[in-house]
A and B are shown apart, each in its own frame.
Chain A
Amino acid sequence: MSFDVFHGVLFGVLALAIVAGALAVVLMPRITQSALFMAFTFLCVAGMFVLLGAETMAAFQVLIYVGAITVLILYGVMFTPQRTGHALFQTQTPWAAIFVAGLTLPAVVFAFSFRDAPLIREFGGDLVPLGTSLFGEYAFAFEIASVLLLAAMVGAIVLVKRDED
């Protein structure tokens, strides 16, 4: 068979939702709405991971992005003021829009130039190869990443508590 209709329809719906959600993040006037649309976009990207057969990464996406990062950013929204009736965009917005629009079309055309390849494994998930790589070949990088998280945590605490000493 040439093209699985179910996969195609699912891809179309998810792609439309992702693009609409990202546009809503950029264009919504209230920051809380932007944050919620960001969570929606992350969820749709997780659906795209499932469509690609990477179920473990979809689970991580939901746990880390939809869970942790969205909550963190919502805290940031709550701690900062929301001024309504204030200019939403910066002064260089027209130039930025022209710049980005000019780059998008060549990038999309370039994206279709990749030779298509079949899936490596049909089903069965990506957990076993991912774990084998992560804790075998990349075990040292994994430990360094934990040091990075520790440094980021200490840095965040120091930045916010700076003027109490």
Chain B
Amino acid sequence: MTVSVVPLGWFIALSAVLFFIACAGVLMRRNAVVILMCVELMLNAANLAFIAFSRRYGAADERGSVFVVFIFVIAAAEVAVGLAIVLAAYKNRPTVDVDEVRVLKG
């Protein structure tokens, strides 16, 4: 009756690989805007895992997808506030390199 599809483990493995690539980007890049992009990619990797689990394990009411909707909302809020902080820091000192923004450092 049901067509066998791609096994769940492949989706979770892809989600993990995407998460850690983006994590490497957050840890490695200097530019604050690229760091924001990588954070969005990490959230998207979590979304992929949520939906994969929701489609295979979840009850009939799709709770995993509800979580993903809230992650969408929080990602939009996060990128708006994050970009505002980057632009405010850029107005303060003309750089967007996270290495050079160290006003708060003691």
Chain A positions within 8 Å of B, measured between CB atoms, are 1-4, 7-8, 11, 15, 18-19, 22-23, 25-26, 31, 34-35, 38, 41-42, 45, 48-49, 51-54, 56-57, 60-61, 64-65, 68-69, 72-73, 75-77, 79-81, 86-93, 96-97, 99-100, 103-104, 107-108, 110-122, 126, 129-130, 132-134, 137-138, 141, 145, 148-149, 151-153, 155-157, 159-160, 162-163
In the complex, what residue of chain A is closest to B17 when comparing beta carbons?
Answer: A19
Query: Closest CB of chain B to A3's CB: distance in Å?
Result: 6
- A-B CB pair tally, cutoff 8 Å: 259
Scoring B9, B37, B91 by chain A CB atoms within 10 A of each residue's CB, the highest score goes to B37
* A116 CA to B29 CA, complexed, in Å: 37
List the 3 closest pairs (A to B, CB-CB), nearest first: A152-B77, A96-B27, A111-B12
Question: Contacts A25-B41, A64-B72, A65-B44; is A79 near B18 (CB within 8 Å)?
Answer: no
* A120 CA to B2 CA, complexed, in Å: 10
* A160 CA to B73 CA, complexed, in Å: 21
Question: Contacts A73-B83, A119-B5; is A104 near B16 (CB within 8 Å)?
Answer: yes
Query: Closest CB of chain B to A35's CB: distance in Å?
Result: 6
Q: Give every chain B residue within 8 A of A156 (Cβ-Cβ).
A: 80-81, 83-84
Q: Give every chain A residue within 8 A of B69 (Cβ-Cβ).
A: 57, 60, 130, 134
Chain B positions within 8 Å of A, measured between CB atoms, are 1-25, 27-34, 36-38, 40-41, 44, 47-48, 51-52, 54-63, 65-66, 68-70, 72-81, 83-88, 90-91, 94, 96-99
Q: In the complex, are the beta carbons of B17 and A38 less than 8 A apart?
A: no
* A148 CA to B28 CA, complexed, in Å: 30
Query: Closest CB of chain A to B34's CB: distance in Å?
Result: 5
Q: In the complex, are the beta carbons of A26 and B28 less than 8 A apart?
A: yes
* A93 CA to B26 CA, complexed, in Å: 10
In the complex, what residue of chain A is closest to B98 when comparing beta carbons?
Answer: A90
Q: In the complex, are the beta carbons of A159 and B14 less than 8 A apart?
A: no
Q: Give every chain B residue within 8 A of A152 (Cβ-Cβ).
A: 76-78, 80-81
Q: In the complex, are the beta carbons of A120 and B55 less than 8 A apart?
A: yes
Q: Give every chain B residue within 8 A of A51 (Cβ-Cβ).
A: 5-6
Q: In the complex, are the beta carbons of A90 and B20 less than 8 A apart?
A: no
Q: In the complex, are the beta carbons of A8 and B6 less than 8 A apart?
A: yes
